[in-house]
Structure formats: C-alpha cells, structure tokens
Amino acid sequence: MRLKSYFPILDWGRRYNRQTLTSDLIASVIVTIMLIPQSLAYALLAGLPPEVGLYASVLPLVAYAIFGTSSALAVGPVAVVSLMTATAVGRVAAEGSVDYASAAIVLALLSGVMLTIMGLFRLGFVANFLSHPVISGFITASGLIIATSQVGGLLGIKTEGHALPELLVSIYENVGNINFHTVAVGAVALALLLWIRLDLKNWLTRFGLSKGVATIIVRAGPVFVVLLTMAWSAGMGLASRGVSLVGDVPQGLPMLSLPSVSLDLVQQLALPALIISIVGFVESISVAQTLAAKRRERFTPNQELIGLGASNIAAAIGGGYPVTGGFARSVVNFDAGAATPAAGAFTAIGIAGATLLLTPFLAILPKATLAATIVLAVLTLVDFSILRRAWSYSKADFTAVAITMLGTLLLGVETGIALGVGTSILIFLYRSSKPHAAIVGQVPGTEHYRNVKRHKVETVPGMLSIRIDESLYFANARYLEDLVLEQVAANRGISDVVLMCSAVNAIDMSALESLEVIEHRLKEAGVRLHLSEVKGPVMDRLAHTHFLKNLSGGVHLSQHQATTSVLASRATNTTQTAA
C-alpha cells in the first residue's frame, strides 16, 4: 500500500482495460495536435530554440503518468513558467548561447528536486502563501507582459526586457524597423486563430457536423494555421523578404543525460527555481482539483508535488526546461475523455514522433505565427475583473492584487510575486494582530450569546463577557491584554470577566503570559477572571501550566454555564453576608 501511494500507476494500472485505452488514445491525439504549436511557441518565449519545447513535452509526460494522481492534468511547457524561465536564465547567460540552454536545463533540475523534496516531506502547504488574489494579479500581469513581448515577433522587430516599461521602450526604439511582410503574416495568423476559437465550431455545426467532430477540428485549428503560413512562407519566399523563420530544427531526440551543475550556477538559480516550483504547483493543483471534483476522483496534493518534481527532473534529463500542468491543455484532455494519466504517456509518444519526423519541415515556419499563438493563448489569462471584485469585497485583498500586478508589470515576474506574497503576509499579520473581539450578551429565552452591537441581548450587571474570534499568539497577545484592562477600567462596577474562547484554536507562550498578566491585574482590582468554551487541545496545553491553578474564577463548558455560575456565586456570597 505504501508503494502505491508513491507510484499511483500501480493502482490505476491494475484497472486498465480496453475502454480506458480507447479513451486515452483519443484524448492523446487531440492534445498532441494542440501541444505541438504550443510547445514550439513557449520555447521561443523562454528564449530557447523551438525544438526544446518539444523535448520538454516528451519525458515529463511519461514521468507524470508514473507518479501523478490526476487523470486529466496535461504536463508540459506553459506561458507563465516560460516567461519566468526567460527572466531567470537571462540573468546568468546570453540568450541563444549554449550556456543559456544549459542553465534552463539546470533550472528544470533544481525545480524538480525542490518539488520532489516538498512532496516527500509533505510541504504542499507552502503553496498556501500564494493567495488567490495574489495569483490572479500575478497571472494577469504576466499575461500582459507575455503579450507585449510578442509584439516584436508580430511586427518583425527585436524587443528586449522582462518588464512592461523595458518592453515598451524597446518597441518604441525599434518601431522604425517594422517588416510589413511579417505584420501581414502575424495579422492573418492572429485573425485566423481568433476566428477558429470564437466562431469556427458554430460555423461547422451549421454545416451539419456533429459537435464532437467540430470540437476536434477546432482543437486542431492552430496546426492548420501553422501549415497555411508554412505554405505561404515557401510559396512567397518570405525569408528573402526579411521575415524571421524558425530555421533549421535538429531532427530526432537529444541524448538522455544530466546537465553539468556548478555551485555558482545553483546559487544563482536556486531562488528562481523555488518561485517557479511554487507558482507551477499552484497552477497545476488548481486545475487538477477542479477536474478531479467533476469526476469525484481521488486527488493527493503532496503526491502531485512528487509527480511534478519527477516531470521536471525528466525534462532536465531530456534536454527540456521547467514544466507544469497547463490549464488549457488539461481542460482539452479532460473534455476529450482522458481516463488515466496514461493519456499523457501516449501524448508523449505522439510528440516524440513529431520530433523525429516533422522537424525538418518547421524551418520555413514564420516566427510571427508562433507569436500569434502565444498572444491568443495568454490573453485568456488576463482578468481585470479581479480588481473590481477585490475592491468591492475586501480593500486589503485589493491592495494585495494591485501591488502584485503593478510589481510584476513594472519590476518583473519574480519581484512581482515576492511583493504579492510579502503583502499578503503583512496583511495577515496586521489582521491577526488586532483580532475581532465582541462583548456578548444572552439572547432572551435561549442559551445563545451574541454581539451586543448586532443583537438585542441581555447582559448581567457587573459581568463582562468578551468573545475572542482569533487564536492567541505573540502578535495579538498585547492587544487582548489592553482590551480587557481598558474595559474594566472604564466600568468600575465589574466584578467578573469571562473570556469566551470558542474561536481560539491555539494559545502560544506569549499569549499565555498575557493571560497571566490579565489574571494578576484583575485579581489586584478585585475582579475574577473566567474562561468558557475552551477547546480540548487548548485546554490540554493550559493544564500543564500554573495559569489554571492560579485562576481566580473558573473554566466553564459553555458561556451560559459561566453566566449561571457567576450568578450562583453572587447569590451564595450575598446569603453568607446576610448571615
């Protein structure tokens, strides 16, 4: 059983049959057709030769089929990770050099090792530091940067930079060198790809084709655009007219080997590799969870880390660069009926076949076609509505989104994501340092206690009941201390204070010391301190301290019991005084 948890193929492989084989084969054909132009385009986006995109789409798919748990997740090059690769590797080597390609391979290896270690040590929770607003802002900004970076490819000019200001300046400086033949190719490719995505399916169904066949044709649409522009390139001699072509692409697959790794290179790429790993994992897991929920399938996040780690290590061995689960191709894989991760392995076979047989024909493919493919793919990532939704729901979340988006656009992807994470953590610390605490009273006729500001409740004279709606730790311990003592100082008639702890999941040492200070100060003022609705794990920790032994009041199972106990104690004291 332990072995199956690390090798999910041993589990689903036992149930594999002719029906699942057929489903996986059909899905793999559709995804292969979609993945070929995408892989070429994303490799160029990463600053690498186009064939590297194909290399990164073979072994990683096989590795994920062995170690992954999602039946539909399609691993391979994706736009955001390709941009992050270009940013990271561009700092250590010149684009187009051998060192650049080697650094990209090392980056994949480092990412794979990090993801695998995170999975083995069950560190998937690290991805929680990337909140949804931060990820949305980051992906939107990255989509804009990627689309802008491809303007040069569509206009036939050279552009440089990994942040929006640099790219815009580069475009402005080179706008006088526009090649109008390239513009024509890019415009036609962009228009065709847009029409294929938006209207071709409706157009085909009007001619009597079934929705299934129409969907397959639409998925294959980018390949038709590639073939059309290749024919245009050959027929019109676009190379002689200054149109940039893909050029000679090595035929066949690279020799399997691990890259040579130097300590200096590891130090330079370690942080980018970690960021790429976490961003890639978040992107993959969000897609995989959504698709798994639709089929009510078992999904294991920590094993996914191992699956993605193995995929990146495989990418490094096969001469690729960092990969992760892609949203678009995973949805296509799911819709095409992929039943097991074996669909990815069959896709790898298809990509390998294309690499062996089709690469000689790619020399005449205009790069403008690939630029158009990237632009259309990434514009679907851009979602400015997140700003409006965040503003209307939470100004703090809006701040995180805005800082992430602006940081990414103006300073680059790594700085942007770091700013977003830092802002989210600061917002969390600020919120938790001032926990919501409400003075509560009894709802008439019930044993329920609610906020006196929100409900019509009854309070006991001389008794202060405060509900704490946050765990107590070093950041908010002083806040609670000040709150209780201020309330008591403002009402000298208080004889009992009850801290309602129903929402307190933990109390750390700093908070314990603050509770001891509160107890000491209240006792000096002749006020008793009580606790109510303390959770079991919290009570277990308090039981090992002197706090409960020195508590002037009591610990009560419920707030109502605390109120009843205080009233009974007062009645007893009154009787004894009268006697």
The pLDDT tens digits of the residues spanning 330-349 come to 988 888 889 999 999 999 99
Do the bridges between strand 437-442 and strand 449-451 make them parallel or antiparallel, or are there none, so unpaired?
antiparallel
Which pLDDT score, from 0 to 100, does residue 563 have?
95
Check pLDDT > 90 for residue 404. Answer: yes
Do the bridges between strand 437-442 and strand 463-468 make them parallel or antiparallel, or are there none, so unpaired?
antiparallel
Which pLDDT score, from 0 to 100, does residue 579 have?
52
Check pLDDT > 90 for residue 431. Answer: no
Q: Helical H runs in 339-464?
A: 342-357, 367-379, 385-393, 395-411, 413-433
Domain ranges for the chain, please list them: 2-377, 437-578
Report the chain's C-alpha Rg in angstroms.
Answer: 31
How much is the average pLDDT of 149-157? 94
Q: Are 55 and 394 in contact (CB under 8 A)?
A: no
Which pLDDT score, from 0 to 100, does residue 121 have?
92
Q: What is the pTM of this model?
A: 0.84
How much is the average pLDDT of 444-470? 95
Q: Are 379 and 198 in contact (CB under 8 A)?
A: no
In sequence order, the 6+-apart residues with CB closer than 8 A to the CB of 525 are 488
Which pLDDT score, from 0 to 100, does residue 228 have?
95
Check pLDDT > 90 for residue 252. Answer: no
How much is the average pLDDT of 543-558? 93
Of 128 and 11, more confident = 11
Q: Are 7 and 67 in contact (CB under 8 A)?
A: yes
Q: Which amino acid is present at 518? A: I
Pick from 242, 269, 270, 221: which is nearest to 376 by CA?
Answer: 221
Q: Are 119 and 302 in contact (CB under 8 A)?
A: yes
Q: Please write the tens of the pLDDT for every residue from 201-232.
A: 889 888 888 887 887 788 788 889 999 999 99
Which pLDDT score, from 0 to 100, does residue 482 have?
94
| Confidence at 574, pLDDT banded by 50, 70, 90 | low
Q: Please write the tens of the pLDDT for every residue from 69-115.
A: 998 899 999 999 999 999 999 999 999 899 999 999 999 999 999 99
How much is the average pLDDT of 384-405? 92
- Phi and psi for 389 in degrees, rounded to 5? -65, -40
| Confidence at 448, pLDDT banded by 50, 70, 90 | very high
Rounded to the nearest 10°, the torsion over CA 39, 45, 50, 55 is -50
Percent of the chain scoring above 70 in pLDDT = 99
Pick from 45, 72, 14: which is nearest to 370 by CA?
Answer: 45
Which pLDDT score, from 0 to 100, does residue 410 have?
95
C-alpha to C-alpha distance for 524 and 515, rounded to whole angstroms: 14
Torsion region of 244: left, alpha or beta (phi above 0 gives left; psi -120 to 50 gives alpha): beta
Which pLDDT score, from 0 to 100, does residue 577 have?
60
Of 17 and 576, more confident = 17
Q: Please write the tens of the pLDDT for every residue from 350-375.
A: 999 999 988 888 899 999 999 999 99
Which pLDDT score, from 0 to 100, does residue 30 have?
85
In sequence order, the 6+-apart residues with CB closer than 8 A to the CB of 328 are 34, 377, 380
How much is the average pLDDT of 402-415? 93
Which residue reads 């419920």 in tokens?
558
Of 575 and 176, more confident = 176
| Confidence at 45, pLDDT banded by 50, 70, 90 | very high
Q: Residues 495-528, buried b or exposed e (16+ Cβ, 10 A)?
A: bbbbbbbeebeebeeebbebbbebbebbeeeebb
Which pLDDT score, from 0 to 100, does residue 332 have?
83
Check pLDDT > 80 for residue 146. Answer: yes
Check pLDDT > 70 for residue 124. Answer: yes
Which pLDDT score, from 0 to 100, does residue 327 have?
84
Do the bridges between strand 496-500 and strand 463-468 make them parallel or antiparallel, or are there none, so unpaired?
parallel
3-state secondary structure 4-30: HHHCCHHHHHHHCCHHHHHHHHHHHHH
| Confidence at 531, pLDDT banded by 50, 70, 90 | very high
Which pLDDT score, from 0 to 100, does residue 129 have?
76
| Confidence at 428, pLDDT banded by 50, 70, 90 | confident
Q: Which residues pair with 496 in a beta bridge?
A: 463, 528
Of 237 and 132, more confident = 237
Q: How many helices (H) and strands (E) does the chain have?
A: 27, 8
Say whether domain 437-578 belongs to CATH 3.90.1150.10. Answer: no
Q: Please write the tens of the pLDDT for every residue from 51-74.
A: 999 999 999 999 999 999 998 899
The SS3 assignment for 526 reads: coil
Q: How big is the chain, counted in residues?
A: 579
Check pLDDT > 70 for residue 1. Answer: no
Other C-beta atoms within 10 Å of 535: how many? 15
Which residue reads 């539909």 in tokens?
72
Which pLDDT score, from 0 to 100, does residue 290 have?
82
Which pLDDT score, from 0 to 100, does residue 578 have?
59
Which pLDDT score, from 0 to 100, does residue 250 have?
85
